[in-house]
Amino acid sequence: MAFTITCPICGPRSGYEFRYGGQDKGPRPDPAEMTPETWCDYVHMTDSCPGVQKEWWYHRAGCGIWFTIYRDTTTNLEVSPDSPEAVA
């Protein structure tokens, strides 16, 4: 597999230039209001279902920004944000 990620600034590059930052779970909840359950859900828990997921990546060997892509975890290929799988 030649995993390729499209950086919004640098374009399509080898996946090894990037660091994975997890499934997108939205902004961090207010820590003061977090219970152990909600904290754990935000920090540790994942869906881990095969299919398309929105996720964060950091261009470590490049421009140094965090951005999101949609990726099909059953093929390791990027999916357009407009595609039905991504919208669903």
Of 45-74, binders to another protein (CB under 8 A) are 45-50, 56, 58, 60, 64-66, 73-74
**By CB under 8 A, residue 1 contacts another protein:** yes
Contact 7, 13 (CB under 8 A): yes
**By CB under 8 A, residue 77 contacts another protein:** yes
Please state, in angstroms and as integers, the Cα–Cα distance from residue 26 to each residue in 15, 17, 22, 68, following that order: 23, 24, 11, 11
**By CB under 8 A, residue 43 contacts another protein:** yes
Exactly one of 40, 80, 81, 85 binds another protein (CB under 8 A); that residue is 40
Kindly tell me the sign of the dihedral angle through the C-alpha atoms of 16, 1, 47, 9.
positive
Q: Which position has the token pair 């997890």? A: 22
Q: How many CB atoms lie within 10 A of CB 74?
A: 10
- Contact residues for another protein, defined by CB under 8 A: 1-4, 12, 15-16, 19-22, 26-28, 30-32, 34, 36-37, 39-41, 43-50, 56, 58, 60, 64-66, 73-77
